[in-house]
Amino acid sequence: MREFVTEEHKKSAVAAVKELIQIPSVLDEEDSGTGHPFGKQVVKALDKVLEICKDLGFETFKDPEGYYGYAEIGSGKELFGLLCHMDVVPAGDEKNWKTGPFEPTIKDGELIGRGSQDDKGPTMAALFAVKALMDAGVTFNCRIRFIFGTDEETLWRCLDRYNEKEESITQGFAPDAEFPLIYAEKGLLQAYLVGPGTDEIAVSAPGALNVVPNEAPYSGTKLAEVKASLDKLGFPYEETENGIIVQGQSVHAKDAVEGKNAITRLAMALSDITDFKPIEFLGKVVKENATGENVVGVVKDEQSGQLTMNFASLEITPEQTKIGVDMRIPVTIEKKALVKQLSEAIVPYGLTYEEFDFLDSLYVPLDSKLIKNLLGTYRDITGDMTEPIVSGGATFARTMNQCVAFGAMFPDTPDYMHQANERWELNSMYRAMTIYAEAIYRLCGK
């Protein structure tokens, strides 16, 4: 097997990732405007990645509205797509970072910074893998197009716009998940459960819907009673100047069963001292269950396992209650039936269902040419015969025809995505580059 990736390619890829990490490309709706729909920093990252691609010899295009861009090499009717994104999640409390989140740092063989794993690092690994093929004189039998989204961490408006305006890919992958590859992704449904407000208690625990909340603050006249209830339940909390912060354990919503939800823990404590119906729903019905079983019963299939249901945010004011929920739906389960079950289950608690976002599931058969080539490459290089994965996560792969998520994290790679001190081991990055180069050579090289 030919080795395409050189030390120079590795060095250049790391330098490019560092350039991109320095740009805090976090969604900023308040900074939205003509040419920068998600904020000036996000489009700055898009401009930078297109500049990098142009310097490497790619033809580039930027959507005039600033929703997406792409870089292309090769020729032919067929279009092989690599779906990447330049936006990142917020850094959170920077006191939890050992280095600046947007100050890329290499320490102990790891590249540290927001976006190192998700998705600036993997994007550059794939880009410089293709550059390695170009430098080796490989001729491509199709066009290879890197598509750069700018709204992946929220509503995917970037690729919605791309699909409205641009050519569809023939096949491809998103370097934004795990090896060996993900051939099925659960449906993603996000909604708000909205109901009456109350003067009795107030809660403000906003949060990203795709993250299990690790903190839930509370202050108010019932503080002593809430603390006593938390003590009885055995739930930890931190005392602050104004009240308390209930502690949980944050994980990605797709892995909600592995986390500890601070909001439902607070609700369990509150439900012991108040008769407020929306709190009763969270504290007496949902409790610490993260599969939705307590709300809609057991929902699962053989292909992709069980539903996850993450109650990620809670706002209670005198005017209304608003509960944010993220659901990862098994690939054969109908959304319409699930929504009907949920809507009926919340009626007794004065809540109504308001949909926020929905992404349909992804399923590519294991006997497809794409999967056989990608999986074969991974196995030939690593010797790892791990079976392909079904995931509750959502990648851009589900937006395109014949597309899967392929790397860049290995089965033994610690997952630091969306967390403080996000980092990626450089040796893992280099291994991913080697796999990407060989896989793309097999699929696109003459």
> Which DSSP string corresponds to 56-87?
HT-EEEE-TTSSEEEEEEE-SS-EEEEEEE--
Which residue out of 63, 110, 151, 152 is catalytically annotated? Answer: 152
- In CATH, 7-186+362-444 is 3.40.630.10: yes
Give the pLDDT confidence of 155-205 residue by residue, as tens digits.
899 999 999 999 999 999 999 999 999 999 999 999 999 999 999 999 999
87 is catalytic: yes
Q: Is the pLDDT of residue 392 over 90?
A: no
Q: Is the pLDDT of residue 436 over 90?
A: yes
> Once rounded to an integer, what is the mean pLDDT over residues 14-22?
98
Q: Where are the domains of the chain?
A: 7-186+362-444, 187-359
User: Model-level pTM?
Assistant: 0.80
Residue 127 contacts residue 16 (beta carbons within 8 Å) = yes
Provide the pLDDT confidence category of residue 215 given band limits of 50, 70 and 90: very high
Which residue out of 72, 87, 315, 326 is catalytically annotated? Answer: 87
Q: What angle do CA 138, 140, 145 make, to 5 degrees?
A: 120
CATH architecture of the region 187-359: 2-Layer Sandwich (3.30)
Helix (H) or strand (E) holding 379: helix 369-382
315 is catalytic: no
pLDDT at 2 (0 to 100): 86
Residue 179 contacts residue 371 (beta carbons within 8 Å) = no
**Token duo for residue 235:** 């739930």
Residue 253 contacts residue 259 (beta carbons within 8 Å) = no
